[in-house]
Amino acid sequence: MNDVQSVTRNWETVIRWIARLSSLAINSVFLLILFLALTNEDKPQGAAIPVLVLLALTMVSCLAAWRWERAGGITVLVGAVCLGVAAYSASRTYGAGPHFLIPLVYAAPFLLVGTLFLLAARDMHARDVSSQ
């Protein structure tokens, strides 16, 4: 029985660290995009501003999910959906290429990270309930 519990705990740890490392990688890429957008000669205008604000908030919620996995995971998922909607709206406003691709590029990585954090939180909650 102890072997099953140790394997389960190892799996929980693996999911938790995959979520954390993927959030670091995704935040690094989007931090570069955010930095380049804000330091460019042409400052963001119009529909780009909500996208950048939601991007920053979603990135911060990824870091908060390290401490509070369930609340952070939910916040990342909500932020990803809002970011996808804002990116879709901005792509329609600026007429940039296929309108489904840009929201997918912005939202999909954060949807993955949010789901991983929720899985890690669920496993931790299940372990706490079973140990009581």
pLDDT in tens, 14-53: 899 999 999 999 999 999 999 998 898 888 888 888 999 9
Q: What is the pLDDT of residue 19?
A: 93
Long-range contacts of 75-81 (CB under 8 A, 24+ apart): 75/114, 76/110, 76/113, 76/114, 76/117, 77/110, 77/111, 77/114, 77/115, 77/118, 79/54, 79/110, 79/114, 80/106, 80/107, 80/108, 80/110, 80/111, 80/114, 81/107, 81/111
In this prediction the pTM is 0.82
| Least trusted range by pLDDT, from 13-17, 53-57, 71-75, 99-103 | 99-103
